[in-house]
Structure 1
């Protein structure tokens, strides 16, 4: 038993002895009630996910643990040797998708509960029926953490516990406003329980008493609020998370707000996958600093002869964008008329440039041939230019991927290549700069549609 406190607030935490080996179909609530009949309103019961999984029949045959990890993986975040950090089916980012091969019969692995929040609700309801008490329940599992050595328990399922304590809008002891403080209460409770459960002591359940203010709600209007133990949140976040019965799902950071969503080398593929052609943008302004950071990534691309063949013209002025796009439109129309296109065909083709006109920010990448070699031989001179063109394309690809990392959408349109002289004149560029299309940049107006899978074998020839 651990006691924390003294003159101020305090709590107790202890492991529950006497639980039998859990098997598929066992009623966890009844087992816990029998082992700890003295549970009281406002207690928090911490249940290791392993026994939840066993009771729910998540022990599966799997001679190959790696194949089981594959089956539970939604996204690979990072890999080092055989160790994989992945996002699993429950939306948790963790090692090996939570697939556990320890303390299981040979040829089997244990998967995480399908819905840990539902598991927590079932145990909580069962304890209420068995003992007539209103407790909070957390389903816990062991996680590593970015930037920190060692493991700790966190909550992956919750019922009747205020998983987040939102202190924003309050003040500290010196009267300073709290603008970013949201405490992961459920994870702190899980870690406290792990101190007494241990990793190898065979004690899968712990109880925290004395923190009844984090417990209550979530089982209906008749669930009550405890027996004077201070249940109720008082922070605008209800007992099951940030509004509604959200359970531990509220602890999983939304991908849009996750600054560390992309991992190590494998995440390069994820970054490339994030790069999608976006044709509709919101009116939100684009941060010029984000574009400059993307340019910094662009100019790391490989190039021939130690040259720097890229230049990026940032058309930040709305007036400059309008002047450029109007001049380009007039040049296209003149070309199409010379080609004998009908007015309808011309209008249809000109509309393809609307993505540039509707974007709040425009970038014109240019190719410069400074440092290129002249051979006086048409074949070799053509190959020399092609090397520089390839390098320019690599720079633009870096640029587009970096924009995606900044949560900006983009569309690379080849239009400026068909009226390079016009573009140079309007933007006042040197005659040696070749505009290589234009990139529309902005905040996407909606989610991109799912990308169709392509068979890599169709693009590979082996000799």
Structure 2
């Protein structure tokens, strides 16, 4: 509760109205005129300080941001094209067969599953993001203000999932005329303590409130939110400023993908881990081996060893490859082979950890520095559950 001169602030009322009866939007539609006409038919009086929240799907449709995808592979190709930087990937079984879901940073600066692409309620097409969500919001704002003769703000909303929480929510993909962040820095809290880091993402909160009454899949792509007029600002930056830059992103790569990237493995985890976590041990161990090998050996002697899975994945055998050290390399063959083996085993420990596994290693050396017998055995055990 904010206080001024020791007295409590007055209560606030927030209301959200869904606008029904909106005509179907297609490429080339005059979206602003269509939405304004629907508001008038619903006899909703637009007032100074209102915020109009428009689903990004209808904005994208009006802008012609539609693509065709005949199958899952074609859809995933569209996702790749819309991806600025991949973050993580997981596999699952869809109705049309094996599929991969990629979480990616988009051109809009957001981080979303499938790079924000949507196939629901799109008549078989794939809906991309609007080309510039903030510019789209600004254009709609100009049109709305001219039509209704009031000062208002516009949010172009989209849905996304949330780390550590189930379910999706709506957030501000684009905005105009609204201060998207309400900084509390330097302000006292109720106990008088000065706040140092708090910033309220009010644009996202307004978008989420609007989604309680609207929904593009329900034929309600527009809502009017009233009661936050104090947040309107003509010169406010768009919603892009709400995106955390990569330099401040603690989670810019999935945990498995971060390990693979650090070890110079080829791209994201491939094949991606199962989204449901039900990969068997053999699949997980095989993926860990592929990442541990990497593209090239970065330690002398690393390429002198072969790895192979024994049985159903309970053991990994490490064998001498028979490769010779080139004459131009100065290291002693025995020393370089030992260093390479140690590096390879440590890489394997790292990739196994990313798969939720850990290893015990049993070394048994012969006099010539090779493993005694046919191979060195690495025995695996599952990591304890931490749920």
1:117 maps to: 134
Q: Please, which runs of 5 or more residues in structure 2 have no aligned partner?
A: 1-8, 92-99, 265-291, 294-324, 326-330, 349-387
Q: 2:220 aligns with which of 172, 178, 203?
A: 203
Residue 47 (1) aligns with residue 54 (2)? yes
1:259 maps to: 250
When residues 122 and 154 of structure 1 are mapped into structure 2, their CA distance, relative to the original with a 3 A threshold, is same
2:15 maps to: 12
2:204 maps to: 187
1:153 maps to: 170
Which one has the bigger helix percentage?
1
Residue 390 (1) aligns with residue 381 (2)? no
CA contact (8 A) 1:161 1:215 kept: yes
Look up the SS of the partner of 1:78 in the other structure: strand
Q: How far apart are 1:258 and its partner, in Å?
A: 1.1
1:130 maps to: 147
CA contact (8 A) 2:50 2:227 kept: yes
Q: How far apart are 1:62 and its partner, in Å?
A: 2.7
When residues 255 and 208 of structure 1 are mapped into structure 2, their CA distance, relative to the original with a 3 A threshold, is same
Q: Please, which runs of 5 or more residues in structure 1 have no aligned partner?
A: 1-5, 219-239, 241-245, 274-300, 303-378, 399-463
Q: How far apart are 1:42 and its partner, in Å?
A: 0.3
1:317-336 equivalence runs, <5 A: none
Distance 1:272 1:136 in 2: 47
Q: How far apart are 1:187 and its partner, in Å?
A: 0.5
Q: How far apart are 1:192 and its partner, in Å?
A: 0.2
Distance 2:112 2:104 in 1: 6
1:199-348 equivalence runs, <5 A: 200-218=217-235, 240=236, 246-271=237-262
Residue 141 (1) aligns with residue 192 (2)? no
CA contact (8 A) 1:157 1:249 kept: yes
Distance 1:258 1:127 in 2: 36
1:36 maps to: 39
| Greater Rg over alpha carbons, structure | 1
Distance 2:263 2:170 in 1: 33
Distance 1:395 1:45 in 2: 58
Cα displacement string for residues 339-388 of structure 1 (whole angstroms, at most 9, x for unaligned residues): xxxxxxxxxxxxxxxxxxxxxxxxxxxxxxxxxxxxxxxx9x95442233
Aligned length, in residue pairs:
263
Q: In angstroms, what is the RMSD of aligned CA positions?
A: 2.7
TM-score between both structures, scaled by the size of structure 1: 0.53
Distance 2:134 2:262 in 1: 31
When residues 396 and 171 of structure 1 are mapped into structure 2, their CA distance, relative to the original with a 3 A threshold, is farther
Distance 1:183 1:272 in 2: 38
TM-score between both structures, scaled by the size of structure 2: 0.63
When residues 167 and 272 of structure 1 are mapped into structure 2, their CA distance, relative to the original with a 3 A threshold, is farther
Residue 89 (1) aligns with residue 83 (2)? no
Q: How far apart are 1:200 and its partner, in Å?
A: 3.4
Q: How far apart are 1:125 and its partner, in Å?
A: 0.4
2:383 maps to: none
Look up the SS of the partner of 2:130 in the other structure: coil
Cα displacement string for residues 305-358 of structure 1 (whole angstroms, at most 9, x for unaligned residues): xxxxxxxxxxxxxxxxxxxxxxxxxxxxxxxxxxxxxxxxxxxxxxxxxxxxxx
Cα displacement string for residues 400-452 of structure 1 (whole angstroms, at most 9, x for unaligned residues): xxxxxxxxxxxxxxxxxxxxxxxxxxxxxxxxxxxxxxxxxxxxxxxxxxxxx
Which one has the bigger strand percentage?
2
Q: How far apart are 1:198 and its partner, in Å?
A: 3.7
Look up the SS of the partner of 1:19 in the other structure: coil
Cα displacement string for residues 138-195 of structure 1 (whole angstroms, at most 9, x for unaligned residues): 0000000111111000001000011000101111010011011001000000100111
